[in-house]
Amino acid sequence: MARHAQPINPWPGIVAAAFVVTVVIAAFVGIGQRVEATSGLRIAEWQAVRFTVWQALLSALLSVLLAVPVARALARRRLPGHRVLVTLLGAPFILPVIVAVLGLLAIFGRKGWLNTGLGLLGLPEVSIYGAHGVVLAHVFFNMPLATRLILQGWQSVPAEQFRMVGQLGLSPRMVFRVIEWPILRQVVPGAFALIFVICLTSFAVALTLGGGPRATTIELAIYQAFRFDFDLGRAAVLSLLQLAVAGAAAVLALWILPPIALQNGRDRAVRRWDAPAPWGDAIWITFAAGFLLLPLMSIALSGLAGLSYMPLSVLSATWTTIWVACVSTVVLLALALPMAAWLAQARWGGAEALTLLGLVASPLMIGTGWFILIYPYVSPTAFALPVTALINAMMALPFAVRILLPPMRQVFNDYGRLSMGLGLRGVSNWRIVLIPRLRPQIGFAAGLTAALSVGDLGVVALFADPDVATLPLQMYRLMGSYRTEAAAGAALVLVALAFGMFWICDAWGRRHVDG
Amino acid sequence: MRGGGGMLTVEGLRIEQGAFALTADFEVPKGRRVAVIGPSGAGKSTLLNALGGYIEIAGGRVEVDGQDVTDAAPDQRGIAMLFQDGNLFPHLTLAQNVGLGIRPALRLTEAEMAQMRDALNRVGLAEFADRKPGDVSGGQQSRAALARVLVQAKPLLLLDEPFAALGPALRAEMLDLTSQVARDAGATVLMITHAPKDAERAADDLIFVEAGRVDPPRAVAEVMADPPEALRAYLGR
């Protein structure tokens, strides 16, 4: 019997997946060594679990609720600056968390624009710190993401359907029922699930805006058990809790996660006949633009002013960040490309579930496990940067594989037989067929990974000693010592770095694209 | 029939795909051009894909030019195949696409370059060597694919309706060019077609496939003069 011929050997992909699984299992082993050393769960742990789930639910709910009218407005109105705004909606996804927090502080913080305004009116000031601050920051990050997902859904509606609407003279309410609602029902559960899972592992936001018994996520509690008490047993128990919560959520979310689209796809202008009075849409668009742009603007303004205050440590941190991001990106490609090739050829569709392991295993959980394994033998700080680079790559893996898989399936479908007939196997197939055909997606995935790695403030905070720092960590330290101008300057460098590295990779991917 | 010196020998071939099953037992002598004809869903494409080594077979043997290739990889079977679409890589030039037929690498030696240019010349594409498939017409794409078949120099050529999207005149032209290419390369041809006219124009023999049953080849003129019942129904006579 002839075996089923395949252009790419699945084994490198299986080995890559096994490597990822091994890293996670090793972390479990580390955690397992410490779990019995502690006695049960205390109230603080249950509070952390409750807050983690509650804030993730609320963040996802608010993000989606606000995204629906904004996406609806963007879908049926073309105000000046429409394209720029839709592109900017993609920005928060790669914006370093710590930078966004600084931007939000400039608007909503104690001396921010909002409180200054309230003060002028003689009203009491509001505080951004605490649970509502955490949710606000999550909505800032995820409302644009949800908006883009919903917008993509509506843009997939064929123009003919809207011509039909014009012909039948349907009211906006009928249009909502006939066209918009069915798409919402498809897109919203996926967007909600994605945001919920992302918020479950929130660390940097909780670190900067949360804290205290009523605003501590599990990830933050792990960090505190580590840094403040050096209670590895408690960190291990919390890691298990994080795993249980995120794992349960990821399994539930697995079947409804939306595909991650490249850029904003075709931003087609569809003529609509159903748009009611324009001011409602304009208000929503202005609200979204303001919510998105004001913090970004404040970063740019205060950053420029702060550039001259930056200490030399920012420079060395910048260098560290660049090489960690480069290593992360290389590791990611070495894992994601063979895995995607294996999964794209596999007839077993459930294989994609493996990639979600990256989302289930949170950075601080893996970090905790590895710390416990390493520290009896060598100083974990020596491994701070390699571990950070590896974990950053693993965190980007689910996204990268989801970006690569659909086009890779398409290539095997369209050119698999031709490749095999010509004997294009293994390395030749990668060089001559796969990489040229997948260049845009590879560039996008690499850019995303580089940007996420640049902005990451997670496991590095766990491992690093005062001499070692990535730029986000250095910025956090500057903020912690109230050197706000210097932090603002570092924020600007960080943003430039994140977007710069994303742009370089993405531009590489989009060059010479044809056919 | 065993060991009769045919170019293609199919013995007890069985293909099972869910509820669909196909069996085939036939031999094609060297140098013949054979049209494979039959209704949609009869299994014509499945048969050719199995011969090409692209789908799993449930049993039987396939011999090409005296070699047992039943378990061989698609590029080790002595078979070149053209599909309905996707015969050229859109990101490579026509020259590169043809070059891949000589060696699966993008760098060719001087002699191989000359061979590639000669093939493009013979299908009338000399000046289009550096164009990409998207920049030439459908007919020119078909010519480039045939140029690659020419350099692949395999003893057996399988055509799964690669010219189906072309107009009647252009399709006739491509069939003539295919015959010429096959003659130059000394190749035996199996081609799927829907049009009896195409079979009469470009084939010596005819294989009729219906509902997973494959009739052995018979001379086209002979079959067309007195088609069996099932073929008569298909032809609408």
A428 → closest Cβ in B85, B104, B152: B104
- pLDDT at position A262 over 50: no
Model confidence band, residue A510 (pLDDT cutoffs 50, 70, 90): confident
Q: Does A434 touch chain B (CB under 8 A)?
A: no
Average pLDDT of the segment spanning B49-68: 93
Report residue A18 as tokens: 């096994």
The pLDDT of residue B18 = 87
The verdict on A309 touching B (C-beta cutoff 8 Å) is no
Which chain A residues are within 8 Å of B156, Cβ to Cβ?
none
Q: Which residues pair with B207 in a beta bridge?
A: B36
Residue of A nearest to B100 (CA): A422
Q: For B186-219, where are the alpha helices, taking DSSP H only? A: 196-202
* Span B145-199, pLDDT tens digits: 999 999 999 999 999 999 988 888 999 999 999 998 898 888 999 999 888 888 8
Q: Who has greater pLDDT, A201 or A347?
A: A201
Q: Is A175 on the interface with B (CB under 8 A)?
A: no
Report the candidate in B43, B45, B77 with the shortest Cα–Cα distance to residue B63: B77
Cα separation, A139 vs A135, whole angstroms: 6
Residue B26: is its pLDDT beyond 90? yes
Query: For the CA atoms of B175, B180, B185, B186, what is the dihedral angle to 10 degrees?
Result: 90
At A491, is the pLDDT very low, low, confident or very high (cuts 50, 70, 90)? Answer: very high
Q: Which of B233, B201, B208 is nearest to B223 (CA)?
A: B208
A433 touches chain B (CB under 8 A): yes
Per-residue pLDDT band for B2 (boundaries 50, 70, 90) equals very low
Cross-chain residue pair B74–A3, CB shorter than 8 Å: no
- Is residue B111 over pLDDT 90? yes
Structure confidence by residue, pLDDT tens digits, A310-326: 888 899 999 999 999 99
Strands B218-219, B205-210: pairing is antiparallel
Asked if B12 is an interface residue toward chain A (Cβ–Cβ < 8 A), one would say no
Q: Which helix (H) or strand (E) holds A488?
A: helix A484-510
Of the pLDDT bands very low, low, confident and very high (cuts 50, 70, 90), residue A134 is very high
Burial group, residue A269, by CB count within 10 angstroms (0-12, 13-18, 19+): exposed
> Using an 8 Å Cβ cutoff, are A332 and A396 in contact?
yes
Contact A208, A476 (CB under 8 A): yes
Which residue from A2, A415, A422 is facing B53, i.e. has the nearest CB? Answer: A2
pLDDT over 70 for what percent of chain B? 98
Q: What gap in Å lies between CA A295 and CA A77, rounded to an integer? A: 25
Closest-CA residue to A101 (of A447, A422, A367, A495): A495
Q: List the single residue in B53, B91, B101 with the smallest CB-CB distance to A5.
A: B53
3-state secondary structure A140-163: HHHHHHHHHHHHHHHHCCCHHHHH
Given a cut of 70, whether residue B35 has pLDDT beyond it is yes
CB atoms closer than 10 angstroms to residue B140: 17
Residues in chain A with CB shorter than 8 Å from the CB of B134 are 514-515
The amino acid that residue A500 corresponds to is G
Identity of the residue in B71, B80, B106 whose CB atom sits nearest the CB atom of A2: B71
Question: Quick one: DSSP state of residue B76?
Answer: G
Query: Does the pLDDT value for residue A261 go beyond 60?
Result: no
Please, which residues bridge with residue B218 across strands?
A: B206
| Sequence-distant (≥ 6) Cβ neighbours of residue A228 within 8 angstroms | none
Q: Do B91 and A514 touch (CB under 8 A)?
A: yes
Q: Could you report the per-residue pLDDT of A181-239, keeping only the tens digit for each? A: 888 888 888 888 888 888 988 899 999 998 888 899 999 999 998 888 888 888 888 98
- Separation between Cα atoms, residue A115 and residue B218, nearest integer Å: 92
Q: Which of A414, A420, A515 sits opposite B134 (nearest CB)?
A: A515
Among A134, A154, A155, which residue's Cα sits nearest to residue A60?
A134
Mean pLDDT in residue range A284-299:
89
Per CB-CB distance under 8 Å, the chain B contacts of A417 are 49, 52, 54, 74, 81, 83, 86
Q: For position A146, what pLDDT does the model report?
A: 92
ipTM greater than 0.85 = yes
Closest CA to B17 of B51, B58, B63, B49: B58
| pLDDT at position A358 | 61
Determine whether the interchain pair A432/B73 forms a contact, defined as Cβ–Cβ distance below 8 Å.
no
More confident residue, A267 or A123: A123
| B81 contacts A417? CB cut-off 8 A | yes
Over the range B32-57, which residues count as b (16 or more CB within 10 Å of their CB) and which as e?
bbbbbbbeeebbbbbbbbbbbbbbeb
For residues A476-485, one letter each, b for 16 or more C-beta atoms within 10 angstroms of the residue's C-beta and e for the rest, the string is bbbbeeebbb
pLDDT at residue A160 in the model: 75
Whole-angstrom Cα distance, residue A505 to residue A330? Answer: 12
Q: Identify all chain A residues contacting B152, using CB atoms and an 8 Å cutoff.
A: 422
- Which of A2, A420, A422 is the closest to B57 by Cβ? A2
| Site from B10, B14, B75 to mutate, A interface, most A CB atoms within 10 angstroms | B75
Cα separation, B38 vs B207, in Å, equals 8
* Band of residue A51 on the pLDDT scale cut at 50, 70, 90: very high
Residue contact A424–B100, C-beta within 8 A: yes
Closest CA to A446 of A489, A404, A409: A404
**Helices B110-122 & B138-152 angle (0-180, nearest 10):** 130
Chain B residue with minimum CA distance to A437: B91
What are A397-425's pLDDT values in tens digits?
888 988 898 889 899 999 999 999 999 98
Question: What integer best gives the mean pLDDT of chain A?
Answer: 85
pLDDT at B106: 86
CB-CB under 8 Å, A514 with B73 = no
**Lowest mean per-residue pLDDT among A278-282, A283-287, B86-90:** A278-282
Q: What's the pLDDT at A179?
A: 81
**Interface size between A and B, measured as CB pairs under 8 A:** 82
Lowest-pLDDT range of A57-71, A98-112, B118-132: A98-112
Q: What is the CB neighbour count within 10 angstroms for residue B146?
A: 27
- Counting beta carbons within 10 angstroms of the beta carbon of residue A158, is it exposed (0 to 12), middle (13 to 18) or buried (19 or more)? exposed
Which of B83, B90, B134 has its CB closest to that of A417?
Answer: B83
Name every chain B residue with its beta carbon within 8 A of the beta carbon of A427: none
Interface residue A417 vs chain B (CB under 8 A): yes
User: Would you state the pLDDT for residue A104?
Assistant: 92
State whether residue B107 sits within 8 Å of chain A by CB.
no
Q: What percent of chain A has pLDDT over 90?
A: 37
pLDDT digits (tens, 9 = 90+) for A363-408: 888 888 998 898 888 888 888 899 999 999 998 988 898 889 888 9
Q: Which residue of A has its CA nearest to B75?
A: A421
CA distance B173 to A123: 85
pLDDT, averaged across chain B: 91
Contact B56 A422 (CB under 8 A): no
Give the pairing of strands B59-64 and B8-17: antiparallel
Give, in degrees to the nearest 5, the angle at Cα A146 between A112 and A449.
85
Q: How confident is the model at residue A270 (pLDDT cuts 50, 70, 90)?
A: low
User: If you measure CA to CA, which chain A residue comes closest to B68?
Assistant: A2
pLDDT tens for residues A16-48?
989 988 998 999 898 888 886 555 667 888 899
Q: Which of A5, A432, A433 sits opposite B73 (nearest CB)?
A: A5
Beta carbons of B75 and A515 less than 8 Å apart: no
| Cα–Cα distance measured from residue A487 to residue A302, given in angstroms and rounded to the nearest whole number | 9
CA–CA min distance B58, chain A (Å): 6
Q: Does B80 touch chain A (CB under 8 A)?
A: yes
A435 close to B (CB below 8 A): no
Residue A514, pLDDT above cutoff 60: no
Contacts of A431 in chain B (CB under 8 A): 106
Whether chain A has a CB inside 8 Å of the CB on B75: the answer is: yes
Q: Which residues of chain A are within 8 Å of residue B18 when distances are taken between CB atoms?
A: none
* Cross-chain Cβ contact A1/B71 below 8 Å: yes
Helices A484-510 and A471-480: angle between axes, nearest 10 degrees = 160
| Counts of helices then strands in chain A (DSSP H, E) | 23, 0
User: For residue A178, which amino acid is it?
Assistant: V
Does the pLDDT value for residue A103 go beyond 60? Answer: yes
pLDDT of the residue at A266: 41
Environment class of B202 (CB within 10 Å of its CB; exposed 0-12, middle 13-18, buried 19+):
buried
- Which pLDDT score, from 0 to 100, does residue B1 have? 40
Q: Residue A315 is which amino acid?
A: L
For residue A426, the chain B residues in CB contact (below 8 A) are: none
